[in-house]
Amino acid sequence: MGMTYRDSGVDVHAGQTFVQGIKAIAKSTFTANVRSGIGGFAALYNFPKDMENPVLVSGTDGVGTKLVLARQMESHQGIGQDLVAMCVNDIVTVGARSLFFLDYLATGKLDQATHLQVIEGIANACKKVGMPLIGGETAEHPDEMEPGKYDLAGFVVGVADGKRLLPRTDILPGDLLLGLPSSGAHSNGYSLIRKLISTHQLDLSRNYQGMSASLGETLLQPTRLYHLEILELHKRNLIKAAAHITGGGFYENIPRVLPAQTKAILDLKAIPVQPLFHFLAKQGPIEPREMFSTFNMGIGMVLVCAPEQLGNIQMVCPDVVHIGRMEKSNQPESGMEITGID
């Protein structure tokens, strides 16, 4: 008998079975604009016709080494939402609504039960956003990855009104900085977190220092989806800018949406730092500036608005927190500082 692809470690038949399972999951997310989804060489989507000046917006991201903790705890339910959220939370900062999502899953060996959990998590997050999971790719890499290991990438395509893009050009000194709480560490800083866990031999099953769940459960909380809230605020013309607090923390992400010669001033005392981050800082120990450069510290999205809009924003997002203000700067580029740290 001759050699087969399976002899190399790739089980094509198992992959085909897996794809059949994905089809049903993905189809449950389809909207009326989907013309064809998973199964063909390409997915087809009818372009929306409700904008006079549509601009296509794209984004891609992954989950990073949070996957290592998911494998350690054998808990994969939230990873799919992490993947979707990291992508859609990025593109909504320009005022884009998400049209459709694609995923890429690479693994050493396909594990039907585990990987279907991941895809179901992706699909459920897509439903929350109101967009279809329109396609994807699953690949076995037996010589590159060990059995049990997998990695993810996500891709989102959205649309925005070219005449109403964020950030707006009228950001002024005196405008307010508001924060929307995070659901935890989201999907950033996990290499440092895992270093702390191994260095201090932390117990993932233990509740530490004010946490309402075990350390492992706290760290695996899925990333919050801000998509619908930001779209509603933008639709009502309530915000001037939105910054997704991801890799690089506050210092890198907030200036990305600010005009030149302006500075964001955040008040350390106004930021509701979650117990998880107090715990991580103490374990390091990690200096405050490093914490705010690495983690979201309990704030996953920062908004800029005119002072008179605060009450209207609170009606849409009751958990929003006033954390700072905008000031004029003499520097040629935008910047920020956190009072009490800088």
Domains of the chain (ranges plus CATH)?
A: 10-161 (3.30.1330.10), 176-339 (3.90.650.10)
Query: CA-to-CA distance for 289 and 167, rounded, in angstroms?
Result: 26
Phi, psi of 239 (to 5 degrees): -120, 155
Averaged over 103-127, what is the pLDDT? 93
DSSP letters of 256-324? GGS-TTEEEEEEGGGS---HHHHHHHHHTT--HHHHHHH--TTEEEEEEE-GGGHHHHHHH-TT-EEEE
pLDDT at 115 over 70: yes
The closest alpha carbon to 228, from 308, 316, 296, belongs to: 316
Averaged over 181-210, what is the pLDDT? 96
Tokens matching residue 61: 């991201």
Query: CA-to-CA distance for 167 and 242, rounded, in angstroms?
Result: 7
Tokens matching residue 83: 């993947």
Give the model confidence (pLDDT) of 157-191 as tens digits.
999 999 999 999 999 999 999 999 999 999 999 99
Which pTM value belongs to this model? 0.94
**Amino acid found at 318:** P
Burial of 150 (0-12, 13-18, 19+ CB in 10 A): buried
Q: CB-hemisphere CA count at 13 Å for 324?
A: 25
The closest alpha carbon to 26, from 129, 153, 126, belongs to: 126
pLDDT at 9 over 90: no
pLDDT range class, residue 40, cuts 50, 70, 90: confident
| Beta-bridge partners for 303 | 178, 242
Alpha-helical runs (H) found in the chain? 12-27, 66-73, 79-91, 112-129, 190-199, 215-219, 227-235, 249-253, 275-283, 288-294, 310-316
Contact 19, 140 (CB under 8 A): no
DSSP structure class, residue 87? H
| Percent residues over pLDDT 70 in the chain | 94
The closest alpha carbon to 211, from 198, 201, 220, belongs to: 220
Give the model confidence (pLDDT) of 50-72 as tens digits.
888 999 999 999 999 999 999 99
| Percent residues over pLDDT 90 in the chain | 79
Tokens matching residue 12: 């094509």
Cα distances (Å, whole numbers) of residue 324 to 7, 55, 143? 60, 32, 51
* Cα-based torsion angle of the residue sequence 84, 86, 88, 93 in order, rounded to the nearest 10 degrees: 170
Q: Residue for token digits 């946490």?
A: 211
